[in-house]
Amino acid sequence: MPKVTIAQNILAANETIAQEIQRSLAARGICTINVMSSPGAGKTTLLERTIARLSGRLSIGVIEGDIETSADAERIEATGAETVQINTKGACHLEAHMIRDALEHIELNRINLLVIENIGNLVCPSAWNLGEDIRVVVMSTTDGDDKPAKYPQMFAASQVMIVNKLDLLPYVDFDLVKAKQQALAINPHLQIFEMSCRTGEGLDAWCDWLVAFARGNGLVPGEA
Amino acid sequence: MPKVTIAQNILAANETIAQEIQRSLAARGICTINVMSSPGAGKTTLLERTIARLSGRLSIGVIEGDIETSADAERIEATGAETVQINTKGACHLEAHMIRDALEHIELNRINLLVIENIGNLVCPSAWNLGEDIRVVVMSTTDGDDKPAKYPQMFAASQVMIVNKLDLLPYVDFDLVKAKQQALAINPHLQIFEMSCRTGEGLDAWCDWLVAFARGNGLVPGEA
């Protein structure tokens, strides 16, 4: 009796499209990052600040994933970056075919870094390859230091972890050492950046790393 | 040609089990709430504080949903409440069959309120009926005031919204009026409670409401 496993077929189809996207972008010299987090960890603010700081150093295109609204895409567009909005209308993650469609609306000759802001969800997006070179998970000091242990797939699937909202550390019960230890226990290769997108603390180190990443054609710089 | 829509069949099967659970719990006089939020909004701390305050007024049983770890269930068990841990091992939401299995491990004669703490995810859990009487969405002031508009299904599917972490209001850019307006535009019947589980502010109103709810056999008190 033939057995059809739907979920696996969908993921396999996604993987095929994702690999096509990655090959196509690499052939144009475009590096791609997929930025993921729980809702409200600060992805959009991170992108706003990063684009502003990298003006003149990198040309950045952004695909904004949201279930509803175009509020985030409007914020990013105000920075001058090429921006495309994807509204998933209920779906909890982006899939590669959505990226393929969105790329038709970006002038790829004008960018050398593509940033995909995924749906705010610390679970589902980690299972879907979008053709990115690296995955960046953003956690915030207000999320709690137990999140790597409780959502391990996201941290296992990422190459970079950003700990955001350092400015709120005095007001929350968040053990930064513990959060980093938990994350590194799951994924010893994680590059970790600590920052406050609100105050700007730590943003330079991240931006310098991103430039090195983009100029290195998608290789992770500084990996031991 | 017959057409099989897998997702609908799975949801229909879930609905059948959920209705069985609700009938069975109602027959025993047990009211049930399903507590949902993004990761780190404070669901577990809310339950700890609520159970402590309701000691002697309600007998509470808790089903703790987590992808991994039993850290939250251990925190709840320390309050003295009957507690069962569900680890979904990667799945992004609880389903009714998991609740049915978990209920076999709770002494139902000893409780009159069942609290289900769902997976930290502001998207997927809202689609899955677990047999609850009401759904409670917890958002925090650090999540951003745009979350109702960006994740409308969760707010449309809930009867109660808790805005937590009021103590952090002075340190974040969160417009409480805007957040409530957005939520009520999606769902005019939402009961809204504002609190800080850390300082205790606002907890009494929520606990009094919960007692009225449980004694009213699952009817939403104070609904206009």
Q: Round to whole Å and give the CA distance between B168 and A108.
A: 42
| pLDDT class of B15 with cuts at 50, 70, 90 | very high
- Rounded to the nearest angstrom, the gap between the alpha carbon of residue B145 and the centroid of all alpha carbons in its chain is 20
Tell me the mean pLDDT in the region B40-47: 97
Is the pLDDT confidence value at A224 over 50?
no
- What's the pLDDT score for residue A134? 96
In this structure, what are the phi and psi dihedrals at residue A135, rounded to the nearest 5 degrees? -110, 135
pLDDT confidence of residue B59: 95
- Structure confidence by residue, pLDDT tens digits, B134-179: 999 999 999 999 999 999 999 999 999 999 999 999 999 999 999 9
Average predicted confidence (pLDDT) for chain A: 93
Out of B119, B147, B153, the one facing A40 most closely (by C-beta) is B147
Task: Report whether B38 contacts B121 (CB < 8 A).
Answer: yes
- Tens digit of pLDDT for each residue in A141-165? 999 999 999 999 999 999 999 999 9
Name the percent of chain A lying above pLDDT 90. Answer: 89
Residue A108 and residue A38: Cα distance in Å, rounded? 29
Mutate: best of A89, A150, A153, partner B, most B CBs <10 A: A150
The verdict on a CB contact (< 8 Å) between A67 and B172 is: no
For B117, the 3-state DSSP assignment is strand
Is the pLDDT score of B221 beyond 90? no
- Name the burial class of residue B173, with classes exposed (0-12), middle (13-18) and buried (19+) by CB atoms within 10 angstroms of its CB: exposed
Give residue A29's pLDDT: 94
Chain A residues in contact with chain B using a Cβ-Cβ cutoff of 8 Å: 6, 38-40, 66-69, 71, 90, 92, 119-124, 140, 142-144, 146-147, 149-153, 165, 167-168, 171-172
Could you tell me if B123 and A124 are in contact, meaning their C-beta atoms sit under 8 angstroms apart?
A: yes
Q: pLDDT tens, A84-127? A: 999 998 899 999 999 999 999 999 999 999 999 999 999 999 99
**Would you tell me the crossing angle of helices A96-103 and A6-27 to the nearest 10 degrees?**
30
B38–A67 CB contact, under 8 Å: no
* pTM assigned to the model: 0.91
Q: Are B127 and B94 in contact (CB under 8 A)?
A: no
**Residue B62: is its pLDDT beyond 70?**
yes
CA distance A154 to chain B (A): 10
> What ipTM was predicted for this assembly?
0.87
Cα A58 from Cα A212, distance rounded (Å): 10
Look at residue A59 in the predicted model and tell me its pLDDT.
95
Segment B87-103 mean pLDDT: 95
- Backbone torsions φ then ψ of B29, nearest 5 degrees: 75, 20
Cα–Cα nearest to B128, from B95, B168, B104, B91? B95
Reading the block at residue A25, the tokens are 């972008």
Residues 6+ apart with CB under 8 A from A126: A36, A135, A153, A154, A156, A157, A158
Residue A3 banded pLDDT, cuts 50, 70, 90: low
- The one-character DSSP state at A71 is H
Specify the pairing of strand B113-120 against strand B60-66: parallel
Q: Comparing A29-33, A131-135, B54-58, B218-222, which segment has the lowest mean pLDDT?
A: B218-222
Q: Is the pLDDT of residue B45 over 50?
A: yes
Name which of B103, B96, B98 is nearest B61 in CA terms: B103
| Strands in A59-188 per DSSP E | 60-66, 82-87, 113-120, 134-140, 160-164
B172: nearest CA in chain A?
A168
pLDDT digits (tens, 9 = 90+) for A20-47: 999 999 999 999 999 999 999 999 999 9
What b/e readout covers A71-92, taking b as 16+ CB neighbours within 10 angstroms? ebbeebbebebbbbbbebeebb
Residue pairs spanning A and B at CB distance below 8 A: 106
User: Across the beta sheet with B82-87, what order do the strands follow?
Assistant: B82-87, B60-66, B113-120, B31-37, B134-140, B160-164, B191-194
How far away is chain B from the Cα of A224, in angstroms, using its nearest Cα? 29
How many angstroms separate the most distant Cα atoms in chain B? Answer: 61
B168/A142 Cβ within 8 A: yes
Q: Is the pLDDT of residue B217 over 80?
A: no
The verdict on a CB contact (< 8 Å) between A119 and B123 is yes
